[in-house]
Amino acid sequence: MSKAPSPKPLPQIRSTADFARHVGLARTTVSRVLNGQPGLKPKTIERVQAAMEATGFTPNAYALHLKGKRTATVGICMEDLLTPPAVRKLAALQRLLRERNFASLIEVLDPGHSRRVVRHFLSMRVDAVVFIGHFIEEEIAQRIAELSAHGTPHLVIDHAGITGANTVSLDRARGMVAVVEHLLALGHSTFGLLALTSLARTAQERMVGVRAALSAHGVDFEACTQTRDHLHVRSGDFDYGRALAATFAAEKKRPTAFLALNDEIAVGAIHGFQAAGLRVPQDVSVTGFNNQDICAMATPGLTSVDQQISPTAAAAAELLLAQFNQPVRRKPLLRTISPQLIVRGSTGPARR
């Protein structure tokens, strides 16, 4: 490490008044330049800009917005920052907002803390509040009602079905329809469900798709699906998937196709089956959900359902802008994103 450079002792400029004095102009004139107002000599503009560069002066945003200017800030509530698909949506949305000169305040929303976080956002006079992930339904419905009462736009990404909420969500049922039809086409007629019996909303949405697809093809749901979810504890998804697969592998009559709640569980299941001497996809087919990076890294590659991050973020940005332009609405704005099945090596023809 080399030494720190001695910081140049800049004149302490803390306000436009200080700054105007430093440049030798009126405060009003400086303000005009800063706000790009017309009727100024090019020379004056240059002088101010040069002084900005030299001194690094930045007008106090807190004073600026107090005067009523839009804060151009969006508050984003994240379920957590450890779920890759959620973070990818965050990244994509933040990029779109940045392009439109919106800054974002990001907070992780621990259960029960949403009120505090949303109030902080409101005190920051955000132009909108976005929720990304899955939350406690009543809690968020409450927050949405408060935001609506305040006239603050909002948007929920991923968590469908919240009363009164403007929502962008993935059609998970449709994703599972695609999975089931893919497997039916490969000749499968018995299905193992991995973690799909969860009471979580996203699991239930998926189950709707599974049932619909099976019944549309004249297959009896009860007779041809099986689960062992209750036999293991879901601590880590990878291990849970492996344990579920181990259980199925030890049984004589087992399904030929396995549908997992997500990619981690699916990859765990592949490991579990392989460890038990079964081949994927020759003996059993396995599918995931989310199409994360790990799908490509599994052996064989994991057939999964892509969440379509870019279209999701684009729809989100669109719904936000729509609310900025026309804040008061009767009906919630709803947008559904269609997922896309990505077929890889983990699914193959059913074993006869």
Does 344 help bind a copy of itself (rule: CB under 8 A)?
no
CB of 56 to a copy of itself, least distance (A): 5
Among a copy of itself, DNA, none, partner that 176 touches (CB below 5 to 8 angstroms by kind)? none
Nearer to a copy of itself, 29 or 292 (CB): 292
**Residue 54, contacted partner among a copy of itself, DNA, none, CB below 5-8 A by kind:** none
Give me the residues paired with residue 168 across strands.
157, 335
For 240, residues 6+ apart whose C-beta sits below 8 A from its C-beta are 195, 232, 233, 234, 265, 268
Kindly identify the residues of this chain, within the stretch 241-270, that bind a copy of itself according to CB under 8 A.
264, 267-268
To DNA, the closest distance from the beta carbon of 7 in angstroms equals: 21
Shortest distance, CB of residue 207 to a copy of itself, whole angstroms? 19
- HEC profile for the chain? CCCCCCCCCCCCCCCHHHHHHHHCCCHHHHHHHHCCCCCCCHHHHHHHHHHHHHHCCCCCHHHHHHCCCCCCEEEEEECCCCCHHHHHHHHHHHHHHHHCCCEEEEEECCCCCHHHHHHHHHHCCCCEEEEECCCCHHHHHHHHHHHHHHCCCEEEECCCCCCCCCEEEECHHHHHHHHHHHHHHCCCCCEEEECCCCCCHHHHHHHHHHHHHHHHCCCCHHHHEEECHHHCCCCCHHHHHHHHHHHHHCCCCCCCEEEECCHHHHHHHHHHHHHCCCCCCCCCEEECCECCCHHHHCCCCCEEEECCHHHHHHHHHHHHHHHHHCCCCCCCCEEEECCEEECCCCCCCCCC
231 binds DNA, rule: CB under 7 A: no
Cβ(241)–Cβ(269) under 8 Å? yes
- By the rule CB under 8 A, 293 interacts with a copy of itself: yes
Binding-residue pattern over the window 295 to 334 for a copy of itself, x denoting contact by CB under 8 A: -xxxx------------------------------xxx-x
- When asked if residue 253 is in the footprint of DNA (CB under 7 A), the reply is no
Least distance to DNA, CB of residue 120, Å: 14
Q: Of 11, 50, 60, 275, which lies in the binding site for DNA, with binding defined by CB under 7 A?
A: 60
Binding mask 8-47 for DNA (x = CB under 7 A): ------xxxxxx----xxxxxxxxx-xx-x-xxx-xx---
Write out the binding residues for a copy of itself, residues 81-120 only, by CB under 8 A: 81-82, 84, 87-88, 90-91, 94-95, 98, 103-108, 119-120
Cα torsion 199, 203, 205, 206: sign: negative
The nearer residue to DNA, 60 or 336, going by C-beta atoms, is: 60
Beta-ladder partners of 287: 259, 303
Which parts of 90-119 interact with DNA (CB under 7 A)?
A: none
How far is residue 247's CA from residue 335's CA, in Å, rounded to a whole number?
Answer: 40
Stretch that binds a copy of itself, among 16-24, 130-138, 145-153, 182-190 (CB under 8 A): 145-153
Name the binder of 253 from DNA, a copy of itself, none, CB < 5-8 A by kind.
none
# residues near a copy of itself by CB under 8 A: 67
Where do contacts with DNA occur on this chain (CB under 7 A)?
Answer: 14-19, 24-32, 34-35, 37, 39-41, 43-44, 59-60, 63-64, 66-69
Where do contacts with a copy of itself occur on this chain (CB under 8 A)?
Answer: 1-5, 7-10, 56, 58-66, 71, 80-82, 84, 87-88, 90-91, 94-95, 98, 103-108, 119-120, 122-125, 145-146, 148-150, 161, 163-164, 238, 264, 267-268, 271, 274, 293-294, 296-299, 330-332, 334
